[in-house]
């Protein structure tokens, strides 16, 4: 079993908490992996809040390659 842990900065956690669970799941399960050349599930996710975006970084659940996803803050 692949170890999966996530850590968010407090502000990033707050923004992530504003996202509905179904959207969270969709985001996590559809992160493009350049190594697999297809959307994969992100594991070991870390979140950092930047000016207007929430930046998610982690690893491909299949091959372990680094993947990232940027969410625009629409507030
Ligand atoms: Zn991969």
The stretches of the chain forming alpha helices (DSSP H) are: 10-17, 21-29
pLDDT per position as a tens digit, 32-60 = 999 999 999 999 999 999 988 999 999 99
From the CA of 4, how far away is ligand 1's center (Å)?
A: 15
* In the predicted structure, residue 1 carries a pLDDT above the cut 50: no
From the CA of 65, how far away is ligand 1's center (Å)?
A: 5
Residue 8: how many CB atoms within 10 A of its CB?
Answer: 18
The pTM for the full model equals 0.85
Cα–Cα distances (Å) from 39 to 3, 9, 10, 19, 68, in that order, read: 20, 25, 28, 20, 11
From the CA of 71, how far away is ligand 1's center (Å)?
A: 20
């Amino acid at each position: 079993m692949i170890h999966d842990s996530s850590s968010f900065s407090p502000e990033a956690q707050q923004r992530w908490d504003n996202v509905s669970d179904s959207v969270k799941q969709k985001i996590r399960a559809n992160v493009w992996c350049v190594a697999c050349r297809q959307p994969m599930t992100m594991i070991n996710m870390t979140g950092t809040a930047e000016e207007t975006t929430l930046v998610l970084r982690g690893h491909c659940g299949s091959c372990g390659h680094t993947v990232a996803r940027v969410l625009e803050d629409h507030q």
